[in-house]
Amino acid sequence: MDTFSEALPGIEKKIPELKSQCICPDCPTYNDCARNGTELLYCIEGRSSTCITENLGCICPVCPLTSELGLLNLTFCLLGSEQEQRSLKSTGKIQIP
């Protein structure tokens, strides 16, 4: 079992702590709409509902949560949470580099 799979059970209880470490607001893709909607933690909670529609750059690789949670994917605000992306990759429904 990998780091992310081990972290997943009970992660809902850690959301406030994880949000405090989230660097999404520093990302060039993050915008005023997302900020006003207090969207954060796309890696766990999934893609932006309506605010983020264009990739202007991704800082997920330097986020402390990437290594802490063992995240393998990127651009969660547009492509979905780590769990969603892993599921889509495993079923072959999408291919994400």
Q: Is 55 left (phi over 0), alpha (psi -120 to 50) or beta?
A: beta
CA trace torsion 3, 45, 72, 67 (10° rounding): -60
Dihedral sign for Cα atoms in the order 70, 17, 40, 47: positive
From first to last of its 97 residues, the chain has per-residue pLDDT tens of 899 999 999 999 999 999 999 999 999 999 999 999 999 999 999 999 999 999 999 999 999 999 999 999 999 999 999 999 999 988 876 655 5
Query: Which residue in this structure is represented by tokens 């780091």?
Result: 3
